[in-house]
Structure 1
């Protein structure tokens, strides 16, 4: 009778968990999100979402899965008659990656008594179970106390001897260079505005206002200017560049309104063909989007190819009088594909679906030679991609003759045909890419920061943002910890690092993030 009652109680627990209204909602939400992602990622003729676009919905799915896991574990514990904290001997879940450099803090849990209950004395230890879990403590702020001892000779009247006070970014001020670097990376790398940082630090008893952190960042800008200047000089000698622009709302102090400025990103990234030059990102601010700003920012650059979208403002670069000749524009297949993907989703057009399939074939072959030398890439492109691209142009022309000239599909096809020369230039040089993804990936964080706060209270502030964001973004591309880099670079510059050797302080010469703890 007792066993039957216990079984009934366990069944009620399981059924209660299953009937829980919140869990049902989690089930529905998880299935809905997964269905949407499955359609976007695996649906026929649709463009895959970027990896970062999956983050937010997948976080919701993972949260729902955690609730379901906890409910299942609770039910199994009740069925097996054990406590929730008892170890599951059959569970072999991976604890995740626990880097060897993390400090280990051990705690030993002993039984309440190690004496044999039958009077035999103390029991003998025959082994132990060891579990490792990832723990965290809040960011630790500390007070760095510097003492400079004074010495005097008591036998004569010689001068007092004392070490010179070290130079700092904020002379006689509160922060160390590491603290300034942390504030900079939090805003310009992790998109946490100063006012949000102030709230975070206040929870730890650290009172820092926005004006103070802004002043620190401005001082850092002054000292890091030679770094950005050298990065610009390195970009100026690159033979192939990427360029893109995005809006940047900037306050107009006189009217209390926002002006629509633009951040322009210039990128050199040769990793696609294993080139020797390090990846570099340089942001520049302009109050408008005119092609005149692109020409201004590229003045003095010696490159031949500019990979960009089909914005007409770039066309003026093909007429610039330079010793090297005008710029050669290389257009982006990703922008073209995006047009047909949007049309295929909205109108279910079979022609748009077919265009997406054709372009996907180009990317599939290109992926096979990514990272190879330019010569290998060029041979593969001429052998496999050239015939496909050559067949695609008359196919576009045929479809255009069969549809309404005023339709969106006709507009998209004309877009492809009008920019065909720029779209096919990648077939002429193995160093060129099919798209402008390197610069789009670099400029995407600007869009995240734009959603969090205005970039600046004036245009000078926007230019300072561009400088610091350039350094942080370049560190990330080179697998360098930006906080460690900025802190140590500021210290080196303050300590008098020779300007003639500023190249030694570039991010790509700093130790990699993977070796920070070694």
Structure 2
């Protein structure tokens, strides 16, 4: 074979090798893309499984750590009871109550609970030898926790009539008191119980009707709804005044969640939204009381957020990164547009999900670094804004300043189409809002106050539709606002609603409505149960 022929063959083989290498590179790139897509699908599938079947929170409450032990404790209780019964048979029933039994841990019985005494006398107090009556030399006392099931009662009101027998004067009689349901069955306390059972304890009216039926009381859910609606009408001034207090707060939290509402005429449900507006200054020991106000809207547009905040004078709005809130930074107001403060909890949640699903070391490292910020916040919680700000400048600022370049470096080293890259870009795109807590000690690291307030809506959503129409959803929002605000202020909502309804029906002056605010109600945790 000639030299020219060998040279041509060599060139052909080189061209074929280059073509093969180019094709291999394309296949490798396609394989990498496919592998990244597979990983993303695995992450999405893992999130869907966890959303459907797993825990909804990224961390466990302390109580949840004890759940596996509860079954063991039940089994231990069965064993203890069996051993006690066997021991009683062996030593005789007269010795069943030993000193060891009496001194075991019985828990703490609150002093405010009423006590009912019963005295167990022997069958005879006469000496069996015939000496006569025996003398009492002491007694053993035991206290146990008892319960009377919640029961209804009939309140009978009598109004005697009086007349003078010596003259023809008029008949004298006390005026009949006004009621929420004129001439109806329920007292204000009964209506308050129905309201709190639904809007505080997430028990729909139809389930309440089943509970009451066990005591022989037949109340359909339409009746319970009518009672609640009448109370809602009378409590409207309270909710309006709560809104006025919120409007004056300098810093607010805001969030929204879906609410299924029946669509009349179609026989189907449509998606509405409940928006929660919260003022809670307990993190920095502020003087203002915590308040929750729910509002209903048929959609999630930021226009509804602007509508609900119309007339509010606050400067800071702590919210998630939903772009609907972005329009608030352009709203023309005398005090200037809203300043958005974003939530570290939402950012942390992204990396927690990724660390669970993919075991990403970068996501795990991000979670650890964010946890350091929360550790600093926990130590400063409850302190004045100046003390909190000083702690953040000294300890949180260096962490945040180091975290941003670390995010940027990791982003340059990973696939741009990965879920991890999306999460890092989320952090960098909202960095200004995430770091505003470093400039004001009144601001919080996250939006947990409003998330905690809105969480009961999710519980109620699992039990029943919110309303048969949008007006019903608005009424739900009003009653839920009052119940939730009572809880935040450590007030018994049943006692508050009952007494407030009574006061309003009796003609409480509208000019003194501030006296009926939940945070001014007497603390009832140990006085009125």
Please give the TM-score of this superposition, normalised by the length of structure 2.
0.85
**Which residues of 2 match residues 377-388 of structure 1 at below 5 A?**
377-388=388-399
Flag structure 2 segments of 5+ consecutive residues without an equivalent: 1-53
Q: Secondary structure at the match of 1:156?
A: coil
The answer to whether residue 248 in structure 2 is matched with residue 227 in structure 1 is no
Q: Secondary structure at the match of 1:200?
A: helix
Assess, with a 3 A threshold, how the Cα gap between structure 1 residues 71 and 82 changes in structure 2: closer, same or farther: farther
TM superposition shift of 1:394: 0.6
**Which residues of 2 match residues 426-505 of structure 1 at below 5 A?**
426-505=437-516
2: CA distance between counterparts of 1:111 and 1:120? 17
TM superposition shift of 1:427: 0.4
After superposing the two structures, state which structure 1 stretch, 102-111 or 426-435, moved more: 102-111
Q: Deviations over 1:65-106 (max 9, x none)?
A: 123222134136536834799335335443223221211111
1: CA distance between counterparts of 2:522 and 2:297? 33
2: CA distance between counterparts of 1:83 and 1:214? 58
1:86 corresponds in structure 2 to 96
The answer to whether residue 144 in structure 2 is matched with residue 133 in structure 1 is yes
TM superposition shift of 1:51: 5.5
> 2:495·2:528 contact (CA, 8 Å) conserved in 1?
no
1:153 to 154, 160, 164: 164
2:184 corresponds in structure 1 to 173
1:262 to 263, 273, 281: 273
After superposing the two structures, state which structure 1 stretch, 64-73 or 211-220, moved more: 64-73
1: CA distance between counterparts of 2:427 and 2:142? 58
The answer to whether residue 103 in structure 2 is matched with residue 95 in structure 1 is no
1:298 corresponds in structure 2 to 309
1: CA distance between counterparts of 2:496 and 2:365? 48
2: CA distance between counterparts of 1:354 and 1:82? 63
The answer to whether residue 258 in structure 2 is matched with residue 247 in structure 1 is yes
**Which residues of 2 match residues 66-465 of structure 1 at below 5 A?**
66-75=74-83, 77-78=85-86, 81-82=90-91, 86-87=96-97, 89-91=99-101, 92-113=103-124, 124-465=135-476
2:18 corresponds in structure 1 to none
Flag structure 1 segments of 5+ consecutive residues without an equivalent: 1-39
Q: Secondary structure at the match of 2:277?
A: strand
Report the count of equivalent residues. Answer: 472
> 2:112·2:526 contact (CA, 8 Å) conserved in 1?
no
TM superposition shift of 1:272: 0.2
Assess, with a 3 A threshold, how the Cα gap between structure 1 residues 466 and 106 changes in structure 2: closer, same or farther: same
Q: Deviations over 1:373-423 (max 9, x none)?
A: 000000110001101111111111111111111111111111111111111
Assess, with a 3 A threshold, how the Cα gap between structure 1 residues 263 and 124 changes in structure 2: closer, same or farther: same
Q: Secondary structure at the match of 2:166?
A: coil
> 1:101·1:517 contact (CA, 8 Å) conserved in 2?
no
TM superposition shift of 1:328: 0.5
After superposing the two structures, state which structure 1 stretch, 377-386 or 99-108, moved more: 99-108
1:65 corresponds in structure 2 to 73
Assess, with a 3 A threshold, how the Cα gap between structure 1 residues 284 and 517 changes in structure 2: closer, same or farther: closer
Please give the TM-score of this superposition, normalised by the length of structure 1.
0.87
Assess, with a 3 A threshold, how the Cα gap between structure 1 residues 265 and 178 changes in structure 2: closer, same or farther: same
2: CA distance between counterparts of 1:150 and 1:63? 63
After superposing the two structures, state which structure 1 stretch, 154-163 or 411-420, moved more: 154-163
After superposing the two structures, state which structure 1 stretch, 95-104 or 287-296, moved more: 95-104
2: CA distance between counterparts of 1:60 and 1:389? 38
1: CA distance between counterparts of 2:452 and 2:287? 21
TM superposition shift of 1:60: 6.8
1: CA distance between counterparts of 2:446 and 2:524? 28
Assess, with a 3 A threshold, how the Cα gap between structure 1 residues 231 and 110 changes in structure 2: closer, same or farther: same
> 1:485·1:507 contact (CA, 8 Å) conserved in 2?
yes
TM superposition shift of 1:517: 4.2
RMSD: 2.2
Structure with the greater alpha carbon radius of gyration? 2
